[in-house]
Amino acid sequence: MTDQTAGQDMIAADGMPLKKSLAKSLQREKMRALMLIAPLLIFVLITFIFPIGSMLFRSVENSIVQDTLPKTVVALQDWDELSGELPDEAVFTAFVEDFIIAVENKEHTRIGSRLNYEVSGMSSLFRKSARKVKKWDPVQDAPFRDKLIDVDKDWGDPATWSIIKTHSVKYTNGYFLNAIDMQRTAEGAQAQPEDKQILIKLFIRTVKMSLIITGMCILLGYPVAWILANLPNRSANMLMILVLLPFWTSLLVRTSAWKVMLQNQGVINDTLVWLGLVSNDARLEIINNQFGTITAMTHILLPFMILPMYSVMQTIPPSYLRAAKSLGATNWTAFWRVYFPQSIPGIGAGSILVFILAIGYYITPEIVGGTDGVFISNRIAYHISSSLNWGLAAALGAILLAVVLVLYWAYDKIVGIDNVKLG
């Protein structure tokens, strides 16, 4: 049978080659599936993929210098910033020409604050110079070199020009370097001065505290999941409601409740003072620090640990424990050698879930974290809404996203995320 058909293609009932007709029928199925998910696809595209894409783009995009000072950028190309000498008159002329236009278009403040991210003082330099330069005429008032240095002696410092040149590229790694406490300089990537190195520390703290929170969730969640999985159905349902209860309460409310609990005049301190365990003038500092963040976030993320653990534990039949005991294992050995290894996928799933959630958490650290209990995401928020350094915020966000994606990949390896199949 196979011998006969090996040479030629199989023909379907309508005379078309079988393969083609199969592909056609599958095609239709795929189209139908695609139509069903189209609303979601479009929604995700608009609300998720585009913003993330534009954010990623913003972390390297740097056309402002080129756009605002085009002639200067060209003129600066011939200047060797490592020579220690000032650029020649052509550069100054080009700059003044560019700058007059920029001031007319009111763009000088923007480029000022852009360069101010790199070196403070740039913003005021640009604003101060603008007031003088806008009265000049690019043809009659030349040469500009000494005039400009008269306006502000910083123009006579090669470093100022070096900054403009270094950050004149259209796509920069400068934000990413900043995000890891380095900077883009004429000599290449270099470490930031000691006192400005805070972001790596913040990253490390974020990871460390997320790990502690994950660990706490494992310790507190495992017994609960175990009880849930082993209780008779009715009581298990009751307990499940208690576990899920936090989900039905606003995150803000829960976090604020922790504020009530933990603050200096809060429930816990009051109780301890009332019991005489702590004297009134030595109330415990358990909020606005790392302890506060860890406590509140452990509580908030606990269900995300319990649920995957529970679903894994539910699939472990009680007969394994019984078998182990009948083979002579004590309760502890039976648990440790037989039950625990089988529950590890649940711990893994829960841990990765909690860790990923924790590492990007914002609200809770913001409310109960004080200064030393905040996360990298709070810094991102600061750069987005206060310092307006969106490029740096985007770079920090991109690094965070990369960390999470790596974790997601690990999650897939360990637990396996069901593939979404199109048709």
Partner 1 sequence: MALDNSRDAFVQFNRVQKSYDGETLVVKDLNLDIPKGEFLTMLGPSGSGKTTCLMMLAGFETATHGDIMLDGVSINNIPPHKRGIGMVFQNYALFPHMTIAENLSFPLEVRKMGKSEREEKVKRALDMVEMGAFGGRRPAQLSGGQQQRVALARALVFEPELVLMDEPLGALDKQLREKMQFEITDLAHRLGITVVYVTHDQTEALTMSDRVAVFNDGRIQQIAPPDALYEEPENSFVAQFIGENNTLEGVVKEISNGRALVQLDSGDLIDCKPINVSEPGQRTRVSIRPERVEFHKDRLSPDAHLLKATVKEFIYMGDIFRTRLSVAGNDDFIIKSRNAPDQVRLQPGQEIEIGWLADDCRALDA
Based on the shown chain and the rule CB under 8 A, indicate whether residue 342 belongs to the binding site for partner 1. Answer: yes
Based on the shown chain and the rule CB under 8 A, indicate whether residue 409 belongs to the binding site for partner 1. Answer: no
Based on the shown chain and the rule CB under 8 A, indicate whether residue 77 belongs to the binding site for partner 1. Answer: no
CA 52 to CA 58: how far, in whole Å?
A: 10
CA 213 to CA 215: how far, in whole Å?
A: 5
Based on the shown chain and the rule CB under 8 A, indicate whether residue 322 belongs to the binding site for partner 1. Answer: yes
By CB under 8 A, how many residues form the interface with partner 1? 19
The per-residue DSSP string of 251-302 comes to HHHHHHHHHHHHSTTSHHHHHHHHHTSS-GGG----SSSHHHHHHHHHHHHH
Based on the shown chain and the rule CB under 8 A, indicate whether residue 143 belongs to the binding site for partner 1. Answer: no
Based on the shown chain and the rule CB under 8 A, indicate whether residue 153 belongs to the binding site for partner 1. Answer: no
> In the bound complex, what is the minimum distance in angstroms from residue 337's beta carbon to partner 1?
7
CA 7 to CA 9: how far, in whole Å?
A: 7
Sign (positive/negative) of CA torsion 347, 349, 350, 354? positive
User: Is 394:55 a contact under the CB 8 Å cutoff?
Assistant: yes
Based on the shown chain and the rule CB under 8 A, indicate whether residue 237 belongs to the binding site for partner 1. Answer: no
Q: Which stretch binds partner 1 (CB under 8 A): 126-134, 165-173, 275-283, 330-338?
A: 330-338
H/E segment holding residue 374: none
Q: Which stretch binds partner 1 (CB under 8 A): 171-179, 219-227, 244-252, 321-329?
A: 321-329
Question: Would you say 164 or 349 has its CB closer to partner 1?
Answer: 349
Based on the shown chain and the rule CB under 8 A, indicate whether residue 338 belongs to the binding site for partner 1. Answer: yes
Based on the shown chain and the rule CB under 8 A, indicate whether residue 328 belongs to the binding site for partner 1. Answer: yes
Based on the shown chain and the rule CB under 8 A, indicate whether residue 313 belongs to the binding site for partner 1. Answer: no
CA 382 to CA 388: how far, in whole Å?
A: 8
* One residue of 317, 412, 413, 422 binding partner 1 per CB under 8 A: 317
H/E segment holding residue 301: helix 290-314
> Residues near 190 by Cβ (< 8 Å), separated by ≥ 6?
182, 183
User: Is 210:351 a contact under the CB 8 Å cutoff?
Assistant: no
- The HSE-up count of residue 187 (CA atoms within 13 Å, CB side) is 7
* One residue of 50, 274, 320, 408 binding partner 1 per CB under 8 A: 320
Token digits for 29? 């199925």
Based on the shown chain and the rule CB under 8 A, indicate whether residue 10 belongs to the binding site for partner 1. Answer: no
The per-residue DSSP string of 147-172 comes to HHHHH-GGGGSHHHHHHHHHTTSSB-
CA 275 to CA 347: how far, in whole Å?
A: 38
* One residue of 333, 385, 402, 416 binding partner 1 per CB under 8 A: 333
Based on the shown chain and the rule CB under 8 A, indicate whether residue 336 belongs to the binding site for partner 1. Answer: no
Based on the shown chain and the rule CB under 8 A, indicate whether residue 91 belongs to the binding site for partner 1. Answer: no
Q: Which stretch binds partner 1 (CB under 8 A): 168-176, 322-330, 363-371, 372-380?
A: 322-330
> In the bound complex, what is the minimum distance in angstroms from residue 250's beta carbon to partner 1?
41
* One residue of 111, 199, 334, 398 binding partner 1 per CB under 8 A: 334
* One residue of 325, 381, 382, 414 binding partner 1 per CB under 8 A: 325
41-60 positions binding partner 1, by CB under 8 A:
none
Question: Would you say 5 or 315 has its CB closer to partner 1?
Answer: 315
Give the Cβ contact number of residue 153 at 10 Å: 10
Question: Would you say 159 or 327 has its CB closer to partner 1?
Answer: 327
Coil, helix or strand at residue 61: strand
**Residue ranges that bind partner 1, judged by CB under 8 A:** 317, 319-320, 322-331, 333-334, 337-338, 341-342
